Amino acid sequence: MTDSTAAPPPDAGVAETAAEVRAGKTTAAEAVDQALARIERAQPRLRAFVLVMAERARAEAAELDARQAAGAPLGPLHGVPMAVKDELDVAGVPTGYGGAAGGGPAAADAEVVRRLRAAGAVIVGKTAMPEFGIWPYTESVAHGHTRNPWSPAHTPGGSSGGSAAAVAAGLVPAATGADGGGSIRIPAACCGVFGLKPQRGRVSSAPRPDLWGALGTVGVLTRTVADSALLYDVLAGTVAADRWHAPAPAAPYADPEPGPRLRIGLLLRTAVPGSTAAPSCVAAVRETAEALAGLGHEIVEDRYRLPDPTDTFLPQVLGGVRADAGRMPHPELLERRTRAVVRLGRVAVPPPVLRWAERRGDRLTARVFALFDRYDVLLTPTLTGPPPPIGRMDGAGMLRGALRAVPMVAYTALWNVCGNPAAAVPAGFADGLPRSVQLVAPPNGEHTLLRLAAELERVRPWVAVPPG
């Protein structure tokens, strides 16, 4: 490091890091070196990464610095170190899906990774996830337990728990995730970061045509709303290989214009019978409603119970896991509970059942969308309770794992079935653990969610990185 430059601090975000590199206040090499040093220090405690690509990341950063020195055009993410969830292909390294059954190195980057690199980001490593993202806890036989930066005794959630932990701890400014039932929003809620699940078809899943049928979408986790907006400007858009295609955004997500006063429906009842929100989660929603009312929005508490999506959600999960496992060259190394899920998928979810499940999802969506005739946005808890203690999957087979997963997805899974954009927004703390609320918009409503979340961030900013 030279006397005239300094590495970005741990709480520097995507936009700040890129701006400092472009301005010559730091370099891509320094930003990457500091990210790698933070990862090395935190990895024994947090276990957020399954693979760190230190030499390759340093070489790519040096190349970016050389391009900048030569006066070449710079991308919007120039010099920003980022992490990628282990289910996205990164050329030259294995795609393990959180387990040990993967094979050799991927031949090419996934479309999302290609776009990040083209915009100037440096991929420093791959983050932990439960095998195939089945569970909302980032625990696996192959890689152990990933821990919450706010309290290592608690889970960071899942399935994008490694990404959420890495961002929350300040190891990287941002990381990719994927959300098939809450897997961006749940870990964002557990770790106190911002996580927007985009509209179905907004971001490419290529080379895979889809993620778990109609359920899944790729996205990002960041510490600030503005950083997510910047990243979705880079990532929005699909390719011919994608099954789902959302309309092109009408305007950039970054720097949105002020929006109108919104009518916001407050819903506290979960979509899962017998599941209720803890008092701390209810308090987070009510405090957020007060803040939104103070910003001029109309809040209406609604007693409507959202429909239970299990009969359309579960078959698509089983079919998706079966397809994921079918691509693994070493199925004998799958976890025992994963093999049980695959067997159930083969028996219970033949192609006609999958097609029925998606049609059932369309009918359920038509019912739910009537809510958006009354409200511009919905406000709910993200989780039914605080982040649980670590070890939720210890000794758990398929059935016990499923029972322990249900409360975690009670507010999130429905919006995968319907395809809506939905965001987990930090909402303070209870007993030292993050709280979160969920904002849900009609189709193609990412602009509205980003604008509303940014308003909340301005009036009650959240802590960027845990002390120490």
Cite the active site residues: 85, 159, 183
Token representation of residue 433: 């653990």
Residue 226 · residue 338 · CB < 8 Å: no
Alpha carbon distance 15, 212 (integer Å):
32
Alpha carbon distance 30, 21 (integer Å):
9
Alpha carbon distance 256, 201 (integer Å):
21
Query: What is the length of the chain?
Result: 468
Token representation of residue 371: 């809510």
What number of H helices and E strands is found in the chain?
14, 13
Q: Is the link from the previous residue into 247 a cis peptide, with omega within 30 of 0? A: no
Backbone angles phi, psi at 428, to 5 degrees: 85, -160
Alpha carbon distance 189, 427 (integer Å):
9
Alpha carbon distance 449, 190 (integer Å):
20
Report the phi/psi class of residue 7: left, alpha or beta, with left for phi > 0 and alpha for psi in -120 to 50.
beta
| Bridge pairing between strands 298-302 and 263-267 | parallel
DSSP bridge pairs for 217:
179
Residue 344 · residue 318 · CB < 8 Å: yes
Alpha carbon distance 448, 445 (integer Å):
5
DSSP conformation letters of 118-180? HTT-EEEEEE--SGGG-SSS-EETTTEE--BTTBTTB---SSSHHHHHHHHTTSSSEEEEEES
Token representation of residue 131: 């095998």
Token representation of residue 43: 């990895």
Residue keyed to tokens 């991308």? 75
Residue 123 · residue 84 · CB < 8 Å: yes
Report the phi/psi class of residue 274: left, alpha or beta, with left for phi > 0 and alpha for psi in -120 to 50.
left
Alpha carbon distance 85, 51 (integer Å):
10
